[in-house]
Structure 1
Amino acid sequence: MWTRSELKERGKASFRKFYAGAVISCLLIGMVTFVVEFRDMQNQDQAADSYITEIQNADDIEDYQKIAEKVNPGSTYSIASRMVSDHSFLMIGVLIMLANLMVLNPLHVGVRHYFMRNRSESTRLGAIFYGFKGSRYFHICWVMFLRDLYTALWSLLFVIPGIVKGYEYRMIPYILAENSELSTSRTFAISKSMMKHNKWATFILDLSYILWVIADTFTFGLIGIFWLSPYVIATESELYAVLRGNVLDDAMAEAYELHGFYAS
């Protein structure tokens, strides 16, 4: 059994040994996430601003009628303009999804690989690109895509099932970071075994950072960059190490499936 305080102490001791690399790797994830999310918000803002600008520039009744026709779902003009607008939104949405799928998800796996290897040996920063190397890249993209898809589908039923499944799949990036050749079904099954009876405790672990999150808002993200993000991932890495040992001891996973972290 593990405790929050023990994991946090081990996490802090771990990432302090490679502090600069830990900060840089988390900063890279933060930058990619910001670019993707900012582009999505910018796209939504542009759509809203276009209508506001037209309303502000309207001079007479006829202008207002034309604007009304745009937002009236029954008008011919509205249908045509919506098709163009929807097409643009769809294209941007697809690009954002591809950025998550092909850049952000493999990077998440690579950062976990980097943190786990640094627990036992000094590792070069280039290890964060582990998820982009060779044929493993496509398998990682596929498994992480399924993780996101299943979580989203469960969330459609209600919020709680989505959260539960999110915790059930929590260790998938770490499993892929250890063995990127593991089959999709086994990756999901091992993560499920790891998180069995541990989802609630992990949820409480996440909540325990709330004061740090609040403090981060008052420092414009500086605490997150230089302390909180590396701290959270390092602590989560310690959690994975414990859960990994548990499933191996209980024969829920074989040694060849979780063969350890090494340069590859």
Structure 2
Amino acid sequence: MTRAQMKQASKDQLRGNWGWAICLTIFAWLFNAVIMDINRWIWTGKDFTYSILRYNNETLIQGYKPGYDLSTFIVGLITGLVLWGVAYTILDFVETGKKEPWYVGIFSAYSNGRFKNSLFTLFMTNLFITLWLFAFIIPAFIKGYSYAMTPYILKDKFAAGQTDIGATEAITESRHLMDGHKMDLFVLDLSFIGWGLLGIITFGIGFIWIVPYYRQTKANFYRSLVANN
């Protein structure tokens, strides 16, 4: 499929299903925002609103506690699994037309025996990207694209009934699948820049539609890659 065909397929799939896709996006964002805000408040005594309105970081630095890094890391895994759950749900919709209720979909990485494999794979993905950051930004950026299909591959393994999945198995398969296609995904991402600017101009309101559209297109990108390999 060409980029235009992927985008058109995404629009066709979302037609009549925008309400569901938007709820999936908004409630995943709200859950993650609340979790991150609670973590920030526990360790610094300052919430998200304060962090937006403050003029400098002095107060937060003064309130910093050593456990904050570990807590933030754990929160990152919790919120990352929510985003992977959204990816699982959207891919399932692309493949079968089945729409999990949003309150089920955003936690789908935590249910049906997926939690352990999802957690370990997410941890290793983040670890690898972090390690690549030590080799400067550009290699880590490239590796981020190499690993981009990991949650979709993992979801397909779950659908196939596989439960004994190594922590790096889906990551390795993503690297192979994206070999020669990293630029394709990069260009696809670039094609959404105009939409992103529109979202900014509308003070973020436009992202209510743009994010589901992008996620749907990315799932179609994965399905197209698998079909051609």
Task: Decide: shared fold, TM above 0.5.
Answer: yes
- Read off the aligned partner of 1:143 and give its amino acid letter: T
- Read off the aligned partner of 2:185 and give its amino acid letter: T
Structure 2 contact 25–211 (Cα < 8 Å) conserved: yes
Q: 2:68 aligns with which of 70, 88, 92?
A: 92
Q: 1:192 aligns with which of 146, 160, 175?
A: 175
Partner of 1:63: none
- Read off the aligned partner of 1:26 and give its amino acid letter: T
Moved over 3 A (4+): 32-47
Partner of 2:121: 143
Distance 1:196 1:152 in 2: 21
- CA-atom RMSD in angstroms: 2.5
Partner of 2:92: 117
Q: Residues 45-84 of structure 1 correspond to what in structure 2 (within 5 A)?
A: 48-49=58-59
Q: 2:203 aligns with which of 220, 231, 234?
A: 220
Distance 1:34 1:24 in 2: 15
Q: 1:37 to 1:206 in 2, by over 3 A?
A: farther
- How does the TM-score come out when normalised to structure 1? 0.71
Structure 1 contact 23–230 (Cα < 8 Å) conserved: yes
Distance 1:189 1:49 in 2: 43
Structure 1 contact 151–166 (Cα < 8 Å) conserved: yes
Give the greater-gyration-radius structure (CA): 1
Partner of 1:239: 221
- Deviation, structure 1 residue 31: 2.2
Q: Residues 193-212 of structure 1 correspond to what in structure 2 (within 5 A)?
A: 193-212=176-195
Q: Count how many residue pairs are aligned between Structure 1 and Structure 2.
A: 210
- Deviation, structure 1 residue 135: 3.9
Which segment is superposed worse, 139-148 or 10-19? 10-19
Distance 1:218 1:178 in 2: 37
Q: Residues 162-201 of structure 1 correspond to what in structure 2 (within 5 A)?
A: 162-180=140-158, 181=163, 182-201=165-184
Distance 1:33 1:210 in 2: 24
- Read off the aligned partner of 2:82 and give its amino acid letter: L
- Deviation, structure 1 residue 99: 1.3
Q: What secondary structure is seen at the aligned counterpart in 2 of 1:183?
A: coil
- Read off the aligned partner of 1:114 and give its amino acid letter: T
Structure 2 contact 146–174 (Cα < 8 Å) conserved: yes
Distance 1:246 1:105 in 2: 29
Mapped pair 1:156 → 2:155: no
- How does the TM-score come out when normalised to structure 2? 0.81
Q: What secondary structure is seen at the aligned counterpart in 1 of 2:168?
A: helix
Q: Percent identity?
A: 24
Which segment is superposed worse, 166-175 or 23-32? 23-32
Structure 1 contact 36–96 (Cα < 8 Å) conserved: no
Residues 216-259 of structure 1, C-alpha deviations (whole Å, 9 max, x = no match): 1121211101x100000000010111112233xxxxxxxxxxxx
Q: Which runs of 5+ in 1 are unaligned?
A: 52-81, 248-264
- Read off the aligned partner of 2:123 and give its amino acid letter: F
